[in-house]
Amino acid sequence: MMLMHFVLVFLASIFASTQPQLVNSHEEKGEWNCNSPSDIRVNAEFRPGIVTLDGHPRDWKNIDGFEFPLLIAVDPDPESEYNGGKMTVKALHDGHDVFFMLQVDGEYAYSKGKSTECPSVALMFQIGENASYHRMGGCKEGPDTCTRKSCQGHEVDIMHFLLGNAIPGRLYGGNLVDSPGYGGGDRFGHLVDVYAWNPHCRYLDGHGPSGNRSSAQNDWRGAWWHSSLTVHSGFVEEDSPYADANKKGTYYFEFSRPLRTMDYLQQDAQFAIGKPTKFSVAFWYPENTKPWHGSGHYSINCDWIPLDIVSGSTGPTGVPREPQRSSWNTATVFSFLFSLAAFSTSIFVGYRVDSSSKTIPFTPMENL
Ligand SMILES: *[C@@H]1O[C@H](CO)[C@@H](O)[C@H](O)[C@H]1NC(C)=O
Ligand SMILES: *[C@@H]1O[C@H](CO)[C@@H](O)[C@H](O)[C@H]1NC(C)=O
């Protein structure tokens, strides 16, 4: 029953299949035109241990953001720019997980259970080498003929977060209760792990035209927040709508995922330190309190944007970072004196150890 409910919500909200004109609106009229700036990219620096996945922005304040205008995805005309302002995208990694923070201004809109009356965001990543940004992988097959074989090379990985059932500051996405067999779904909220070959061939991880595979998981986690919400010990569902409608402020969407996942089906992008990944961000907003529809979203660019998972020990160019310089102050002088004392002690200890260790033979590993 739960599963059925989920499937219905998923179909209704993502595929928006109840509104027939939407399917067509993915097919833009005329030639597709994209003048993507060649110099844009997003860096995910190695910054372990600074971010808590709670939707709050304060732990990101020292991380550089990348600002993008939000243009209507199916018609990226500058005239169509989101009137709330630009989106700031921040990313970092800790060697195991990659983290994203998306910030965008918008008056507070929340309607419990009605995700299309709340803002929403999605991340999309290239998996297959021939997957285009335009038309979500760009496989030419229709919904009846797209398969892993016929669309091979066009796989894209999508994380989509709908807020209608998500309490601000709470964590959604992959969870132990949904596994196994639930694939990329999320029965508590709607932070789902999806793959696609084109806008009409989109499935939860583990699901698809050739049946369901129990090995697939939802590898994403995330939370949302709005600056008009009051920070306290935590919201529960009964507090909905959590803040006053139409309050000016900023939305925050925070996500993480392991760099590598246990995907065996080509349904997750695999990140690697030092290797760029192609990605994009989509944003839906219920403008003038009108519900949004599936294809009516904004995007941060009309093509892929390179995402660099920067190595921890070197800068982006491979040149080791300069050590941080600091000025001399009392604390530094004291710590210098202490380390001088420690150094002298270690020379003495080192001498003692050295003179006593001569009798210990070196044991090569292979002889153990
Ligand atoms: C991508 O397209 C090229 C050219 O059509 C083709 O040679 C290559 O095999 C494709 N890659 C995949 C993974 O299908
Ligand atoms: C696959 O999963 C979906 C959604 O949970 C379900 O409706 C469908 O019946 C399943 N298909 C098979 C072949 O098990």
pLDDT tens digit sequence for 126-152: 999 999 999 999 999 999 999 999 999
- Ligand 1 near 339 CB (within 6 A): no
Q: Are 178 and 186 in contact (CB under 8 A)?
A: yes
Q: What is the Å distance from ligand 2's center to 206 Cα? A: 10
Q: Span 240-253, mean pLDDT? A: 96
The more confident residue out of 79 and 122 is 122
- Ligand 1 near 39 CB (within 6 A): no
Q: What is the Å distance from ligand 2's center to 202 Cα? A: 14
Q: How far is CA 117 from CA 8, 41, 121, 158, 197, in A?
A: 17, 31, 13, 21, 27
pTM here is 0.79
Give the pLDDT of residue 25: 42
- Ligand 1 near 140 CB (within 6 A): no
324: which 2 tokens?
Answer: 């941080």
Q: Are 112 and 240 in contact (CB under 8 A)?
A: yes
- Ligand 1 near 152 CB (within 6 A): yes
302 three-class SS: coil
**For residue range 320-355, what is the model confidence (pLDDT) as tens digits?**
455 444 455 555 555 656 666 666 666 555 555 444
- Which residue's CA is the nearest one to ligand 1's atom 3? 130
Give the pLDDT of residue 90: 98
Of 13-22, 62-71, 78-87, 287-296, which gets the smallest average pLDDT? 13-22
The Cα–Cα gap between 126 and 270 comes to: 9
Q: Span 269-291, mean pLDDT? A: 96
Q: Does residue 18 have a pLDDT over 50?
A: no
300: CB partners within 8 A, 6+ apart: 68, 69, 70, 87, 89, 280, 281, 283
Q: Span 254-264, mean pLDDT? A: 96
How many CB atoms lie under 10 A from the CB of residue 264?
10
The more confident residue out of 31 and 299 is 299
- Ligand 1 near 128 CB (within 6 A): yes
Tell me what the pLDDT averaged over the chain comes to: 83
Nearest one of 156, 40, 161 to 100, comparing CA atoms: 161
**For residue range 67-94, what is the model confidence (pLDDT) as tens digits?**
999 999 988 888 889 999 999 999 999 9
Averaging pLDDT over each range in 87-91, 286-290, 321-325, 364-368, which range is the top one? 87-91
- Which residue's CA is the nearest one to ligand 1's atom 2? 130
Measure the CA dihedral 180/183/189/193, to 10°.
140
User: To 5 degrees, how large is the angle CA 36–CA 163–CA 265?
Assistant: 65
